[in-house]
Structure 1
């Protein structure tokens, strides 16, 4: 099993500084995303926003990825490329962002409803967000990775929606992806024990279809649901502390 490093208080504050930029960006996007805007416009805005605040859009150039954001619309559930196509009322879009500042990174993907969603799309949105909240609540010292995973899985199973099992949360710090993996399904009481100072992302990715099966497109990045149903993702970066999970990408800290 790969060694999992813990972070000290100073390092966690450096991650939080990146996370504040990221959270502020999502707060602005919450008001800006509407019918008639393109994901390319969103991408350009996000890169400007991060740069003006002393950060770097860490996804741009990562393993050749050409954009500052992953912008995933409707049945594209993850790693979508921004495009010039305009968003329409009823769409669902996930904007996934990684910010680096002073050598430390924070990661947060967030799903947005565009205009007036269908009841089923709104249900997917709410269930996925609830899964994130339940996963976070399980991220306490002495619990195990499987406790987080099971909290997420149980939420999807109760709602009859699909878990995109190949996609997982992960450790983060000076690298975008560090050990450990944090799957979105599992058994309670199994896996690595959580310790104070671990910094991880929790990121349920669900589809409205109950299989959660996905297909990779030829660009090597874009992931679509195999059944054509829409997907949603919610993700926070957090530190495990004795006082409970400390959200480093919290959007409502003000």
Structure 2
């Protein structure tokens, strides 16, 4: 006896009055769609057009259901490789997702001097807190030389990390490369432990504006990634970053990267003794707007010396209220974060660090550490191709 089910002919114009039928649609059978039976070949052929339309709808529905189940399963628990999304209930603005687990904290040899926050469980930079409200420091010639050394090392590490950017590498693997390169120079990775930041540098991909935490996500062709390097050597910090294409990127992403670098270079050119910190935004925002981009207001440039983030505070947008005048011997960063489109606002993942655009559009950033000189400005972290 046949195990095939007996159902009525599904033809909408069956001349036999839709009798019980056993002729099954072979396409439905192959796809696992049950119940598609007809009373004969002629009835099947005559009804093929409406049946095929319903078949497309059913296949689309089943595909969506399977995709939803995959997404749901990944959100609820580890994937087959053990990775998982740690914030399944968070409303992400774009397509990027964190891929955990985070690898254990990387160790720094005991002989390498560490900033004060690295020795605290809470990561609070006590020295920075004590310096709040103080004016920007003017460094001595000896301190300037230490800044030059730290900044040269930072550039070396950034260039090394950038050479490893490619589709397929994880941001955690990049973190391991950066960590080793820094300790090989007897320096300390400044972000590690700073206010409990868990990694040795920041990796900000696509819609991430800044402070992305390296994890198990593999970079994909068409991504963009910002690598933000900071290190502490002989008692002084350096800080720089740049945004890179991963493989081949679309024109909007390429234009965003070019625009962001142009914004930073324009800001650097206006730095000199007597220049106002509030005017840096005047050099940046017109370039961003002319390229249909927005300047992030949530984060700023900052002073840098023996402290990681002292005065001055440097907004990157026009018509800001920053105070202070540039003087020879001052060191600070300029690091504009530029978003595609007109929205500059940010939102944060539940890791309390990762800042993203609120519309899911891409963001890029470039940063240099600068020294004001008697003659103008020196870019302490400049790459070999930099032209002022």
TM-score normalised over the length of structure 1 = 0.96
- Superposed displacement of residue 7, structure 1: 0.8
Paired with 2:142 and 2:369, the residues of 1 have a C-alpha distance of 16
The residue number in structure 2 matching 1:128 is: 260
Matched position secondary structure for 1:232: strand
Paired with 2:203 and 2:263, the residues of 1 have a C-alpha distance of 21
Q: Tell me which protein shows more strand as a share of its residues.
A: 1
- Superposed displacement of residue 187, structure 1: 3.7
Equivalent residues in 2 for 1:71-110 (5 A)? 71-110=203-242
The residue number in structure 2 matching 1:142 is: 274
Cα deviation digits, residues 168-209 of structure 1 (max 9, x gap): 000011111010111001249973111111100000001112
The residue number in structure 1 matching 2:251 is: 119
Cα deviation digits, residues 135-174 of structure 1 (max 9, x gap): 1111111111122121111211221201110110000111
The residue number in structure 2 matching 1:28 is: 160
Cα deviation digits, residues 204-229 of structure 1 (max 9, x gap): 00111211111012211110100000
Unaligned runs of 5+ residues in structure 1 are none
The residue number in structure 2 matching 1:207 is: 339
Whether contact under 8 Å (2:157, 2:229) holds in the other structure is no
User: Quick one: structure 1 residues 27 and 189, their matched pair in 2 at CA, closer, same or farther if it must change by over 3 Å?
Assistant: same
Paired with 2:242 and 2:281, the residues of 1 have a C-alpha distance of 19
The residue number in structure 2 matching 1:169 is: 301
- Superposed displacement of residue 31, structure 1: 2.2
Whether contact under 8 Å (2:314, 2:322) holds in the other structure is no
Paired with 1:160 and 1:166, the residues of 2 have a C-alpha distance of 19
Whether contact under 8 Å (2:331, 2:370) holds in the other structure is yes
Which structure 1 residue ranges, 4+ long, deviate > 4 Å from structure 2? none
Paired with 2:321 and 2:266, the residues of 1 have a C-alpha distance of 16
Choose which of 202, 213, 219 in structure 2 pairs with 1:70: 202
The residue number in structure 1 matching 2:374 is: 242
Instruction: Kindly indicate whether residue 373 of structure 2 is the aligned counterpart of residue 226 of structure 1.
Output: no
The residue number in structure 2 matching 1:10 is: 142
User: Quick one: structure 1 residues 121 and 253, their matched pair in 2 at CA, closer, same or farther if it must change by over 3 Å?
Assistant: closer
Residues 147-156 or 177-186, more deviating: 147-156
- Superposed displacement of residue 120, structure 1: 0.2
Structure number with larger C-alpha Rg:
2
Whether contact under 8 Å (1:78, 1:223) holds in the other structure is yes
Higher relative contact order (CA 8 A, sep 6+): 1
TM-score normalised over the length of structure 2 = 0.63
Whether contact under 8 Å (2:162, 2:227) holds in the other structure is no
Choose which of 329, 332, 345 in structure 2 pairs with 1:197: 329
Paired with 2:235 and 2:275, the residues of 1 have a C-alpha distance of 29
Cα deviation digits, residues 32-71 of structure 1 (max 9, x gap): 2111111101011001001001111010000100000111
Whether contact under 8 Å (1:147, 1:189) holds in the other structure is no
Paired with 1:189 and 1:130, the residues of 2 have a C-alpha distance of 23
Instruction: Kindly indicate whether residue 170 of structure 2 is the aligned counterpart of residue 38 of structure 1.
Output: yes
Whether contact under 8 Å (1:100, 1:106) holds in the other structure is yes
- Kindly tell me the number of residue pairs found equivalent between the two proteins: 254
Paired with 1:67 and 1:189, the residues of 2 have a C-alpha distance of 33
Paired with 1:58 and 1:164, the residues of 2 have a C-alpha distance of 23
Whether contact under 8 Å (1:26, 1:251) holds in the other structure is no
Matched position secondary structure for 1:25: helix
